Structure formats: C-alpha cells, structure tokens
Amino acid sequence: MPSLRILTTIFALLIFNNAVMAEDFLGENWDKVLGTPPAIGSVEEQDDYLALIEIQENRTEAECAEAAAEEKVTLNSLFGGETGPLSEDEVYANTFLFFKYYAMAGLKTKSAKSHFARKRPFVRFNDIVPCIKKPNPNTSYPSGHTSIARVLAYALSKKYPERRLQFFKRANDVSKNRMIGGVHFPSDVVAGKKLADYLAKTYFGLN
C-alpha cells in the first residue's frame, strides 16, 4: 500500500495539474506590469553586465554551491534544509501550498519570459561564465526563481506571520544566488520581484 507521503505527493501533483488547466491564459500587459528589459547596447544593459562581472570576480565556491543547491525549485530547496525557516515536517505539511503557488507564479513567469524573450547573460556575453548548470530555455526576464520564491514568501507569511522576515530573507537570497550563479541579470531579478508583488496583490490580496 502506498505511503501517506507518496499519496500526498500524488494529490499535490493533481492540484498542480488542475491549477495549470484553470490558469487564466488571457494575456497580461507585461510591458505595463514589469517594464521592458534594458535594450541591447544600452547604458542600462552595460550596467547589468558590469554588475555580473563584479559578482563573478568575487564569488566563492561556497556561494556557487549554495546557488547550485537551489537549481531545482522545491519547497525544501527554497525554504527548508538545515538553515531554512521551515522544518522538515513543515515542508511536508505545505506540499499543497507549494504546488498551488508554484503553478500560479510559474505560469505567469513563463508567459512574461516568452513575451520579452531576453537572452540569458551567458548567451549575450561570452565572458559571463555560470558556476551552476546552465538553465534551459535561455530566456532571462523576469527571473523565475525570484518570482516563485517571493510569491511563496508571501503565502508562507500569511500562514506563519511571525516568520515573515525569515521567508523574505530567504527569497532575497535565492534571487541573489541566481546572479551569483551567472544565469540572471540584476534587472531580471528586479522584474521577478515586481512580478511576485503584482501576483500577491492580484491573487492573494497581500501588500
């Protein structure tokens, strides 16, 4: 007989699938919601590039290892583990919450990325060298890890308000690690946070 943990995971996957099917696919005005990414060859893009070069020159092996541990988006990789705000039991107990909000943020992020189709830093600039696995597809704006982690921080803060600061600190760390890893520009991260704040207001009534 399947264990309770396996059954819970199966039900969570069903919830995720239903969320995907029920998601509103009417297009968002992403230019209005997020603003457009820096134009190719612009001063803003050069600032993005120089910021990543500085990060690349100063990052440590430990920081790259932390960024690599967050490559796969799970509740445990983002908010659990030895130093995360959630205990192992709490990660398990919030399986449904994770899949629900992962679906919301993930689908909207995918829509926005498709709209902007911005190339990732290592595709745009040959001297940007990721220290983690190169993501695929190579669309960069907004940062999906950032938007998902921040949406989850909002959702978890609603359930555990006394740990709000810890959740948002972890979400910010996830954002930073995407730049340390060399797979997102700073402006991608800013847009990911903006998307999460937009979704929090639209879906959750949170500020």
Which amino acid belongs to residue 44? Answer: E
Cα 148 to Cα 4, 5, 89, 152, distances in angstroms: 27, 23, 21, 6
Cα–Cα dist 66/177, whole Å: 7
Report the pLDDT value the prediction gives residue 21, as an integer from 0 to 100: 42
Q: What is the pLDDT of residue 207?
A: 54
pLDDT digits (tens, 9 = 90+) for 100-141: 999 989 999 999 999 999 999 999 999 999 999 999 878 999
**Residues in the chain where the model's pLDDT stays below 50:** 1-2, 4, 7, 9-13, 16-17, 19-26
What domains are defined for the chain? 4-22+42-204 (1.20.144.10)
How confident is the model at residue 142, as a pLDDT?
A: 97
pLDDT of residue 1: 46
The pLDDT value recorded for residue 83 is 85
pTM of the model: 0.87
